[in-house]
Chain A
Amino acid sequence: MGAPILDVNHLTVCRDGTTVVEDVSFALQAESDTALVGPNGAGKSSLVQALLGILPRRSGSIRLLGHPLGPRGQLPVAVRDRIAYLPQTLQLRGRIPLTVAEFVGLGFERPGLSLPWRSCGDRTAAVRRALGRTDAADLADRLISELSTGQLKRVLLAFCVVRPRSLLLLDEAQAGLDSQATEHFHTLLYGLRRSEGWTILQVSHDLEMVRRTCDTVLCLNRSLRCSGSPDHALSPQQLERLYGPGYVPYHHHHHSSGPPSP
């Protein structure tokens, strides 16, 4: 195997003075699909945010595509461009005069200075293709603040896939998707891995789906409790260690699902 896409060593993250992620080390190989599972408040989102420099880390090191992440989240622009992040939700407050197509276009652009008269023909085509891939073509002219939870997830995924990437970090991407959209979503992820060589790390509560689609599982409850293949990491004994006794793994995700998309 080649150099890992993501290499995490002894990562510790604090949020408001409490340690939420403690001494976590793991590596992701190219084209792997890794699930990050654990109970609520286990630090899954914080871990993902620390990997991107959204949350500062207290100690440890992170290498993304072979480049070290600076202490304040610095990463070369070219490397940033190869990484996409799908947050759990957006903090939308009230009407935002921004259409879905405009929003997805922001995923195509590199942040930083850009001159207003630069041609945007490439961007328009890429946005249309991305929205088509995530079944969101009909949403292009809607406002980003008008979408339902499931629609917003598909648009966020389009934001991620609007450019070729190497690493995709998903924070509960399926929460709020109906079963058909979930199925389509996994077909898309599988295609991105196999034909375009993407590496995926996804936070998920859907252990059944994780068993079917992921090749590695990381069990997190502040520190890394176990990792390995789904058969090993999601065995009843390991799950009881992770979630505590009395945990029923099935049907869990239905409680946290939002309304189905229209």
Chain B
Amino acid sequence: MSAPVALAELLQLPFLQRALLAGLLTGALGGVLGSFAVLRQLSFFSDALGHSALLGITAGILLGLNPTFVLVPFAVLFALGVDRLASRSRLPADALLNIVYSSSLALAVLVLSRVRSYRGGIEQLLFGDILGVSWVDLSLILLLLLGVCGYLLLTRHSQILLTLDEPLALSRGVAAGRHRLLFIVLLAVVVAISIKAVGVLLISAFVVIPACASRLVSRHFPHYVLLAAGLGAGCAVLGLLLSALLDLPSGPAVVVVQLAGFLVALALAPRVQGLAP
């Protein structure tokens, strides 16, 4: 059977259609949020959140609930808690995040190793499972994408100022505290919802890699955000197709495609920067 025929057959499968659609939407969502997150030094936050999410999934399994419905509140609480902790404690944020995420990860793996009723493997949680995307997940992701884009578009001046320099944003009357908190919560929800397809270990790549690739080659802020979204969506679809065709785990396949995109951007960067007048 040749590759095109195999691909055409695969594309008939409803679960793959759902997965591709989910990849397209989460990829774009990760790119849009990521373009602000990497400039605001939140890359490690999304990584820590992804790792800690395993604890949320574990809680869902123990309670016998759909993981998505447990994950979203868990992620929001995690984000608010970490934000509060980081602003109160004198420890640097990265050290604090490390403590929180390694302990949640450890706790989750310990509990999971004891739960006999759990049928899926830990591996699927760690690296993602495209079979796991349901129509409910898909509509949640679509709603989230619309909400995030609407919010960022309407408040774009405040968001860019805030990304650039918080005191300057405050001097212009931007409600910095409220926007920062809302952004972190949105980031947490996006990570929580995308985790099924990508896995807890690699979810932060969705936020970080397309945005960083776009950051290397963009000169205008709107182009930067759009390119990050496009790269995120494109790499996700391509990675998922490769994963389906070659029977590879979906998360790592997407991340490898993102890496390729990043390397291309890295190679193009000197040329783009050379265009500067």
Contacts and interface: CB of A to CB of B under 8 A. Distances in A.
B156 A114 contact: yes
Given A141-B277, A142-B277, A113 B172 contact: no
Interface in A65-91: 73, 75, 77, 80, 83, 85, 87, 90-91
Interface string B210-248: 000011101111011000000000000000000000000
Given A54-B170, A85-B171, A114 B157 contact: yes
B220 A111 contact: no
Given A52-B171, A97-B224, A111-B173, A103 B164 contact: yes
B46 interface: no
B160 interface: yes
B156 A90 contact: no
Contacts of A98: 160, 164, 220-221
B174 interface: yes
Contacts of A141: 219, 276-277
- What does DSSP make chain B's interface, helix, strand, loop or mixed? helix
A113 B170 CA distance: 16
A80 B218 CA distance: 32
Interface in B191-220: 214-216, 218-220
A196 interface: no
A112 B159 CA distance: 10
A98 to B, nearest CB: 5
Interface centre among B160, B161, B171 (most CB of A within 10 A): B171
Interface string B156-184: 11101101111111111110000000000
A93 B158 CA distance: 19
Contacts of A85: 168, 171
A1 interface: no
| Secondary structure class of chain A's binding surface, majority of residues | loop
Interface residues of B, number: 33
A262 B172 CA distance: 30
Contact of A113 (B155, B218, B220): B155
A150 B160 CA distance: 23
A248 interface: no
Contacts of A115: 154
A246 B117 CA distance: 79
B172 A96 contact: no
Contacts of B167: 49, 54, 87
A233 B21 CA distance: 70
Contacts of A164: none
Contacts of B39: 93, 96
A185 B89 CA distance: 42
Contacts of A99: 219-220
Interface string A92-110: 1111111100110011011
A35 interface: no
A103 to B, nearest CB: 7
Nearest to B163: A96
B160 A106 contact: yes
A107 B174 CA distance: 12
B41 to A, nearest CB: 7
B3 interface: no
A103 B165 CA distance: 11
B170 A109 contact: no
Nearest to B223: A97
Interface string A24-53: 000000000000000000000000010011
A143 interface: yes
A146 interface: yes
A116 B149 CA distance: 12
Contact of B172 (A102, A103, A111, A146): A111
A111 to B, nearest CB: 5
Complex A-B, nearest 7 residue pairs according to Cβ-Cβ distance, in ascending order? A85-B171, A97-B224, A97-B218, A80-B173, A54-B170, A109-B157, A90-B165
14 contacts: A53-B171, A54-B167, A87-B168, A90-B164, A96-B164, A97-B219, A98-B164, A102-B160, A103-B164, A106-B160, A111-B157, A111-B174, A112-B173, A113-B155
Interface of A: 49, 52-54, 73, 75, 77, 80, 83, 85, 87, 90-99, 102-103, 106-107, 109-116, 138, 141-144, 146
